[in-house]
Amino acid sequence: MPDFVYADHAATAPLSKAALKAMMPFLTEEYGNASSAYAAGRRARRAVDRAREKIAHAFGAHPDEIYFTSCGTESDNWVMRSPELCSEKKEKIISSSVEHHAILNTLEARKHAGLSSELLGADGNCRINVSRLKAALGSSTALVSIMAANNEVGTVMPIAELAEAAHKAGALFHTDAVQAAGHIPIDVEKAKVDLMSFSAHKFGGPKGIGGLYIRRGVPAGRWLYGGGQERGLRGGTENTAGIVGMAVALEKSCENMEKDTRRISALRDELISGVQKIPGTHLTGDPENRLPGNASFIFEGAEGEALVLLLDQAGICVSAGSACSAGALEPSHVLLAMGIPPEMARGSLRITLGAENTEDDIRKILEVLPDAVARSREAAGK
């Protein structure tokens, strides 16, 4: 067991034992190429096919609607950069200002190419309002892309309502479910989504493997030219071990979801209650509609990056809702979009829990954090 408290599951989750066990044969003796015709290749192909079936079952999809990629970022790029999803008369993409940079930066590149896009603002809880989407939709809208749950503050979006509004306007609907998959129930039929991105390492699978759900009949187009893998849409040798590990991790996450959600939510609520006793503390994100393990805060007068380093010295792994850019601390674009002033946004901290966390972990965080906040405020002269 590690001698530190890992509370940054939104960044990556530990590889599950079940996933590692399932992967090992394909990392050692079962190394055949899934495209090869001989027995070792056929065994790899069967493993890939079974994994595709498991993932499809977890999401309420058909196996031929699941496409394997290298990560969630690649899946998002496939959707955002697919010319087949747009036409000369319908080329506008609507997204939100709180999306992951895999969406935002790709839309920015698309904008430089002269193609139209619009970013919807979020409310103070990071929710995307359905009425705001309806007002933005028009005859030129080809695609709407709204994340299923926010990666910084954990807010769960009303995806089914947003998708319904998009469809009524004649647009397709994509959701980046990288943070949601394996943590909250997802049924692509009930959610009415046309495309959905997901990534294994967020729910206990290995890094370097992800996927894209493409509803039957949706013209996502060819993404990578090469061989005929992924029904000709994404060429390249399949990562058999990664695919198998992802499927097992997702299967186990779904099997344990109800039990884990109850336990993790209870730990999260205990953490939130304790942290809010620190003066000048604000919970960010929707207080009700949020991911089970997400507890994100702003500490007035503190610096998020300083808090991360101070907690790291105490053996606690968390993250700040800000990023270092060109040597300067930049406030989180998500918090700014929620209407939080830049000075306050710099004091953000994200603590995200998983199935491995315990009551002792919460106690340690609550023991260390008040002093870290005080030291950060003192250093900042606040």
Evaluate whether residue 48 is within a structural domain. Answer: yes
CATH value at residue 221: 3.40.640.10
Examine the domain organization and report whether 117 and 59 are in the same domain.
yes
Evaluate whether residue 173 is within a structural domain. Answer: yes
Residue 302: pLDDT band by 50, 70, 90 thresholds? very high
Evaluate whether residue 5 is within a structural domain. Answer: no
Examine the domain organization and report whether 39 and 183 are in the same domain.
yes
Examine the domain organization and report whether 99 and 241 are in the same domain.
yes
Evaluate whether residue 75 is within a structural domain. Answer: yes
Examine the domain organization and report whether 207 and 329 are in the same domain.
no
Evaluate whether residue 60 is within a structural domain. Answer: yes
Domain that holds residue 266: 257-379
Point out the domain boundary residue: 202, 226, 255. 255
Examine the domain organization and report whether 360 and 302 are in the same domain.
yes
Examine the domain organization and report whether 152 and 64 are in the same domain.
yes
Number of domains in the chain: 2
pLDDT above 80: residue 374:
yes
Evaluate whether residue 4 is within a structural domain. Answer: no
pLDDT confidence of residue 36 = 94
Examine the domain organization and report whether 265 and 228 are in the same domain.
no
pLDDT confidence of residue 330 = 82
Point out the domain boundary residue: 223, 255, 287. 255
What letters, b where the CB count within 10 A reaches 16 and e where it falls short, cover 284-311?
A: bbbeebbbbbbbbbbbebbbbbbbbebb
Examine the domain organization and report whether 191 and 324 are in the same domain.
no
Residue with tokens 């939709």: 137
pLDDT confidence of residue 323 = 43
Give the other-Cβ count within 10 Å of 314's Cβ: 15
Evaluate whether residue 308 is within a structural domain. Answer: yes
pTM: 0.95
Percent of the chain with pLDDT over 90: 91
CATH value at residue 290: 3.90.1150.10
Examine the domain organization and report whether 248 and 266 are in the same domain.
no
Examine the domain organization and report whether 146 and 280 are in the same domain.
no
pLDDT digits (tens, 9 = 90+) for 135-193: 999 999 999 999 999 999 999 999 999 999 999 999 999 999 999 999 999 999 999 99
Evaluate whether residue 218 is within a structural domain. Answer: yes
pLDDT above 80: residue 329:
no
pLDDT confidence of residue 325 = 37
Point out the domain boundary residue: 255, 281, 300. 255
Examine the domain organization and report whether 111 and 204 are in the same domain.
yes
Examine the domain organization and report whether 188 and 101 are in the same domain.
yes
Sheet with strand 66-69: strands edge to edge: 66-69, 210-214, 195-199, 172-176, 141-145, 92-96, 117-120
Q: Which positions are catalytic?
A: 324
Residue with tokens 């599951």: 9
